[in-house]
């Protein structure tokens, strides 16, 4: 063995082979892949996958994974043949609703830089002659999609890795993952022990079992899925057996997909009820009748799909099914892959729940993360550590993974919540919200009011409303009323869902200074808005930090990944402690011009501007309730964030509610909150900016104090500032007032040049608002662009940022 870093990759399917190949490409030579079955038809999901690669995805990250996978697989050769057939893909629409859906997907493709075209039913049939054009209304063509030979690709990547020193061990079962002082040190196998600095689990449907070996929960569920191959079709009798020319086809209205296999056709169906399987119940390679990933085929479940197939492709009506498969593949609670290093066991990495479509892209990103510390694309949606502990419970994983399977081809609005298990997490005033007629959406397990029917009487005539059902699906005119009341009087907002932590200890200040961009060395009582960066200067998260004493800080965060980041960077001398306080506390946003009048009547503490300035924090009493009050406003109005322990939450709400009655105070929901924040120009991390953006591009340069000393990402940020920026997050107003949803492409000179992030209607300014990433040369006030929505272009203007800025003297007086 050499002296460089060593890695063991568990699993010789396409993902494990991709991770290994990309590790050696980045300079690691001591890489060993262990596979419990044979190479490279291992018996896992890679072995039976039909290989369809569809690149369009609502997630930019997933689209990038797929685009790289296509690029990489096209470069691979196996026995002189390409591992990828770029036959293209077509998604068809049977209904008007699905036709609108594929228009939106065409917009997504344009936003992410992927070529696609909307085509007529006749054009679909011209490319797939077996199809009855009379059954459909049109289609979406992606010319660069195609079919991967996953087994060939795995072997080709393995050959490339071997050429640089990697080893592949077949029929080698991992019996345990070895650790020392909490860190991975290798694996024990049926053929001996392999020492390693890094262990990467790419075991797919067996991933949860590998995780158990080190006490790490891998939240995925193997699901059964049916696929059949027909006998030879007379219409394709002249086709060579290995020739495929028809584009791959998705009939999402019937939850089905198709691919040509020479003179035969393959047909897959999601129509049956979800059938989860426990990882522990999957047989090993030596126990399986055919291969571990294949379950018994349920013929009754395929009767309706087969009838639907014969209706769409009449040539199938008289053809027998020659081969039936019921294969296993992995689903997670949110349908996204699991990538990253365990927060509990350093050196233990995973790349799980990855389909063939994204395999090479995931392998590349995982290897980059391991070797370079920062992947080249943002992985916030895929991070293993994105889940709260409840989301890793077997009951939750099974329920949510089953719903993900059931809805895989459904028309789903981006705001549409999963339905079970709910309610799961509720704030102390959930009952009060229910009494006020709250319409709840779900966020990370929390029930979060979107608007309150009790405010319906405040709705005024002539409220600007969405012109289409899509934008109006989770909209109500009550949102406009709550928006206006917050601006005119005062409202209570439930902010309990925000992640928060306490950082305490003699080293707390130095610790937080090293992780954030802003200056925190201020007396107790000061608040700072700051960013946490990656080493390359990208925005890892934005945080609000309140210094409550010399050694105690309260931090507003964006999720479990931030807790993980804090804990990973803790000093080893024990001088700092991080405690997640989210579940033990609750938070109210009291905002509006009358906010001071409401709270001052309940407290002996001084809430005047002189006694309680902007961006200040104090521990106060609201009557008998101990409260940490932060003079912050995420809606651009006078107000406070009020935090207390969960036991006092209901009392705090009731006190404020009673005191606010004479001021016409209401409860406000997230619908109004979002419009208010966009009018004020406040960014939302993960939606408006993420790790691929730096503070200067995102309009957050004011949070960076390069002169304060060293912090993670400082050197890279200084270089970025010197080089200048070539893109910018801009505020757009939609000239015709069209409501948008987000992720729409922005056109300049008839070319897609950017994409929309956050959207809302600004009822104070009377404009439809969209924030978007645009080239720097376009990001000038007054510039005209177009936004595509349902395949129609809408004129928009680059506008003042922010659109709403209440006179600060009045606000603070």
Q: Please provide the CATH number assigned to the domain covering 499-581+694-723.
A: 3.30.70.1400
Contacting residues for 508 by C-beta, under 8 A, at least 6 apart: 551, 552, 553, 575, 576
Task: Identify the pLDDT of residue 4.
Answer: 82
Q: Which residues of 307-332 are buried (b: 16+ CB within 10 A; e: fewer)?
A: ebbbebbebbeebebeeebbbbbbbb
- Where do the structural domains in the chain lie, given as residue ranges? 6-82+149-220+334-372, 84-145+222-329, 499-581+694-723
Q: What are phi and psi of 320, to 5 degrees?
A: -85, 155
* CA–CA separation, 483 and 636 (whole Å): 11
Element (H, E) at 427: none
**Alpha-carbon distances of 706 from 709, 721, 800, rounded to whole Å:** 7, 11, 27
**Alpha-carbon distances of 6 from 1, 29, 158, 606, rounded to whole Å:** 9, 8, 17, 60
CA 259 to chain CA centroid, nearest Å: 29
Question: Is there a catalytic annotation at residue 246?
Answer: no
Give the CA dihedral 473, 476, 479, 485, nearest 10 degrees. Answer: 180
Q: Of the residues 48, 68, 106, 257, which is catalytic?
A: 257
* CA–CA separation, 604 and 659 (whole Å): 15
Comparing C-alpha atoms, which of 689, 690, 640, 636 is closest to residue 803?
A: 636
DSSP state of 74: H
Q: Are 405 and 224 a contacting pair, CB within 8 Å?
A: no
Task: Identify the pLDDT of residue 237.
Answer: 83
Contacting residues for 19 by C-beta, under 8 A, at least 6 apart: 9, 200, 202, 351, 362, 363, 366, 367
Dihedral angle sign, alpha carbons of residues 650, 652, 654, 660: negative
Q: Are 223 and 401 a contacting pair, CB within 8 Å?
A: yes
Q: What are phi and psi of 168, to 5 degrees?
A: -125, 125
Q: Residue 630, CB half-sphere, CA atoms under 13 Å: how many?
A: 24
Token pair recorded at residue 123: 């054009």
**Alpha-carbon distances of 236 from 84, 130, 241, 246, 642, rounded to whole Å:** 21, 9, 10, 11, 70
Q: Are 306 and 265 a contacting pair, CB within 8 Å?
A: no
Q: What is the DSSP string of 710-769?
A: --TTHHHHHHHHHH--SEEEEEEEETT-----S--EEEETTEEEEEEEEEEEETTTTEEE
CATH superfamily of 6-82+149-220+334-372: FAD/NAD(P)-binding domain (3.50.50.60)
> How does strand 167-169 pair with strand 174-180?
unpaired
Task: Identify the pLDDT of residue 3.
Answer: 66
* CA–CA separation, 725 and 712 (whole Å): 20
Q: Are 323 and 243 a contacting pair, CB within 8 Å?
A: no
* CA–CA separation, 346 and 791 (whole Å): 47
Token pair recorded at residue 351: 């790349």
Summarised one tens digit per residue, pLDDT across range 133-172 is 999 999 999 999 999 999 999 999 999 999 999 999 999 9
Angle at 109 between CA 106 and CA 113, to 5 degrees: 140
In 87-243 the beta strands, taken as DSSP E runs, fall at: 89-93, 117-119, 138-142, 146-148, 167-169, 174-180, 183-189, 192-195, 198-201, 221-230
Token pair recorded at residue 37: 């079955």
pTM of the model: 0.96
* CA–CA separation, 262 and 3 (whole Å): 49
Q: Three-state DSSP class for 145?
A: coil
Token pair recorded at residue 34: 């262990």
Task: Identify the pLDDT of residue 498.
Answer: 96
Helix residue ranges per DSSP H, 385-536: 394-406, 430-435, 469-472, 477-488, 508-515
* CA–CA separation, 382 and 358 (whole Å): 12
Whether the bond between 802 and the residue before it is cis, its omega within 30 degrees of 0, is yes
Summarised one tens digit per residue, pLDDT across range 277-307 is 999 999 989 888 889 999 999 999 999 999 9
> How does strand 792-798 pair with strand 727-734?
antiparallel
SS3 content of the chain, % helix, strand, coil (to 5): 30, 30, 40
* CA–CA separation, 1 and 8 (whole Å): 13
Q: Is the CATH number of domain 84-145+222-329 3.40.50.11540?
A: no
Name the one residue in this structure whose structure tokens are 């005033």.
429
Q: Of the residues 145, 542, 688, 694, which is catalytic?
A: 542
* CA–CA separation, 199 and 6 (whole Å): 9
Name the one residue in this structure whose structure tokens are 């459909």.
136
Q: Are 413 and 407 a contacting pair, CB within 8 Å?
A: no
* CA–CA separation, 406 and 441 (whole Å): 20
Comparing C-alpha atoms, which of 456, 219, 232 is closest to residue 339?
A: 219
Token pair recorded at residue 55: 């690149």
Q: Are 224 and 325 a contacting pair, CB within 8 Å?
A: no
Dihedral angle sign, alpha carbons of residues 793, 794, 797, 798: negative
Name the one residue in this structure whose structure tokens are 């689209």.
63
Q: Residue 692, CB half-sphere, CA atoms under 13 Å: how many?
A: 17
Query: pLDDT under 50 in the chain at which residues?
Result: 1, 808-813
Q: Of the residues 22, 72, 106, 225, which is catalytic?
A: 225
Task: Identify the pLDDT of residue 384.
Answer: 98
* CA–CA separation, 198 and 184 (whole Å): 7
Contacting residues for 180 by C-beta, under 8 A, at least 6 apart: none
Q: Are 531 and 720 a contacting pair, CB within 8 Å?
A: no
**Alpha-carbon distances of 538 from 544, 693, 694, rounded to whole Å:** 18, 5, 5
**Alpha-carbon distances of 379 from 387, 463, 561, rounded to whole Å:** 13, 39, 11
DSSP state of 291: -
Task: Identify the pLDDT of residue 809.
Answer: 31
Question: Is there a catalytic annotation at residue 406?
Answer: no
* CA–CA separation, 309 and 4 (whole Å): 54
Q: At what angle do helices 670-680 and 477-488 cross, to 10 degrees?
A: 60
Question: Is there a catalytic annotation at residue 78?
Answer: no
CA 59 to chain CA centroid, nearest Å: 7
Token pair recorded at residue 79: 């026995």
Helix H, strand E, coil C: the string for 496-536 is CCCEEEEEECCCHHHHHHHHECCCCCCCCCEEEEEEEECCC
How many other CB atoms are there within 10 angstroms of residue 247's CB atom? 24
CA 713 to chain CA centroid, nearest Å: 23
* CA–CA separation, 736 and 727 (whole Å): 25
CA 622 to chain CA centroid, nearest Å: 38
Q: What are phi and psi of 101, to 5 degrees?
A: -60, -45
């Amino acid at each position: 063995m050499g002296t460089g870093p060593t890695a063991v990759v568990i699993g010789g399917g396409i993902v494990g082979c991709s991770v290994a190949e990309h590790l050696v490409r980045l300079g690691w030579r001591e890489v060993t892949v262990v596979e419990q079955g044979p190479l490279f038809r291992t018996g896992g999901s890679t072995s039976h996958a039909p290989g369809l690669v569809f690149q369009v995805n609502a997630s930019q990250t997933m689209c990038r994974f797929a685009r790289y996978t296509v690029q990489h697989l096209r470069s691979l050769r196996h026995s002189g043949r390409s591992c990828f057939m770029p036959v293209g893909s077509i998604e068809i629409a049977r209904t008007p609703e699905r036709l609108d859906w594929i228009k939106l997907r065409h917009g997504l493709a344009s936003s992410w830089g992927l070529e696609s075209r909307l085509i007529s039913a006749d054009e679909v049939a011209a490319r797939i002659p077996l199809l009855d054009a009379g059954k459909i209304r049109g289609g979406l063509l992606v010319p660069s999609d195609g079919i991967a030979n996953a087994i060939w690709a795995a072997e080709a990547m393995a050959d490339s890795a071997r050429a640089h020193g990697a080893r592949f061990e077949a029929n080698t079962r991992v019996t345990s993952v070895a650790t020392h002082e909490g860190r991975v040190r290798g694996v024990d196998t049926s053929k001996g022990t392999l020492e390693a600095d890094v262990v990467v689990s790419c075991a797919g449907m067996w991933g949860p079992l590998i995780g158990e070996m080190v006490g790490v929960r891998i939240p995925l569920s193997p699901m059964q899925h049916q696929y059949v191959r027909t006998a030879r079709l007379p219409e394709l009798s002249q086709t060579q057996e290995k020739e495929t020319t028809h584009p791959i086809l998705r009939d999402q209205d019937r939850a089905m997909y198709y691919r040509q296999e020479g003179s035969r056709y393959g047909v897959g169906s999601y129509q049956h009820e979800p059938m989860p399987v426990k990882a522990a119940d999957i047989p090993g390679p030596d126990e399986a009748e055919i291969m571990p990933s294949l379950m018994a085929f349920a013929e009754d479940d395929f009767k309706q799909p087969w009838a639907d197939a014969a209706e769409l492709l009449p040539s199938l009506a008289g053809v027998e099914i020659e081969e039936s498969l019921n294969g296993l593949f992995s689903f997670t609670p949110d349908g996204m892959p699991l990538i990253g290093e365990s927060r509990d066991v350093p050196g233990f990495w995973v790349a799980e729940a990855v389909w063939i479509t994204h395999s090479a892209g995931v392998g590349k990103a995982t290897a980059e993360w391991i070797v370079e510390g920062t992947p080249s694309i943002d992985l916030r949606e895929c991070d293993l550590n994105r889940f709260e502990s409840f989301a890793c419970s077997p009951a939750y994983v099974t329920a949510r993974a089953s719903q993900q399977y059931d809805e895989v081809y459904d028309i789903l609005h981006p705001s549409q919540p999963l339905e079970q298990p709910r309610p799961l997490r509720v704030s102390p005033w959930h009952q009060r919200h229910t009494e006020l007629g709250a319409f709840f959406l779900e966020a990370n397990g929390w029930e979060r009011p979107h608007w309150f029917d009790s405010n319906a009487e405040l709705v005024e005539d002539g409220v600007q409303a969405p012109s289409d059902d899509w934008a109006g699906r989770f909209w109500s005119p009550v949102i406009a009323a709550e928006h206006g009341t917050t601006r005119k009087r005062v409202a209570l907002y439930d902010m309990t869902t925000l992640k928060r932590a306490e950082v305490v200890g003699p080293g707390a200040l130095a610790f937080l200074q090293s992780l954030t961009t802003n200056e925190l060395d201020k007396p107790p009582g000061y608040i700072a808005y700051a960013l946490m960066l990656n080493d390359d200067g990208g925005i890892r998260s934005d945080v609000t930090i309140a210094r409550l004493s010399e050694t105690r800080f309260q931090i507003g965060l964006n999720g479990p990944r931030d807790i993980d980041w804090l804990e990973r960077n803790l000093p080893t001398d024990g001088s700092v402690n991080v405690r997640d306080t989210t579940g033990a506390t609750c938070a109210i946003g009291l905002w509006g011009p009358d906010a001071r009048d409401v709270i001052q009547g309940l407290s002996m503490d001084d809430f005047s501007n002189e006694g309680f300035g902007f961006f200040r924090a104090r521990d106060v009493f609201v009557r008998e309730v101990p409260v940490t009050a932060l003079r912050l406003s995420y809606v651009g109005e006078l107000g406070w964030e009020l935090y207390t322990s969960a036991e006092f939450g209901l009392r705090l709400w009731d006190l404020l509610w009673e005191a606010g009655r004479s001021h016409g105070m209401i409860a406000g929901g997230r619908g109004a909150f979002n419009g208010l924040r966009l009018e004020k120009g406040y960014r939302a991390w993960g939606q408006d900016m993420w790790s691929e953006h730096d503070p200067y591009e995102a309009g957050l340069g004011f949070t960076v104090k390069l002169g304060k000393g060293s912090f993670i990402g400082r050197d890279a940020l200084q270089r970025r500032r010197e080089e200048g920026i070539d893109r910018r997050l801009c505020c757009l107003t939609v000239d015709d007032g069209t409501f948008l949803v987000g992720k729409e492409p922005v056109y300049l000179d008839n070319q897609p040049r950017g994409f929309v992030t956050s959207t809302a209607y600004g009822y104070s300014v009377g404009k439809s608002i969209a924030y978007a990433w645009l080239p720097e040369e376009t990001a000038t006030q007054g510039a005209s662009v177009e936004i595509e929505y349902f395949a129609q272009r809408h004129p928009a203007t680059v506008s003042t940022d922010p659109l709403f800025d209440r006179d600060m003297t009045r606000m603070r007086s």
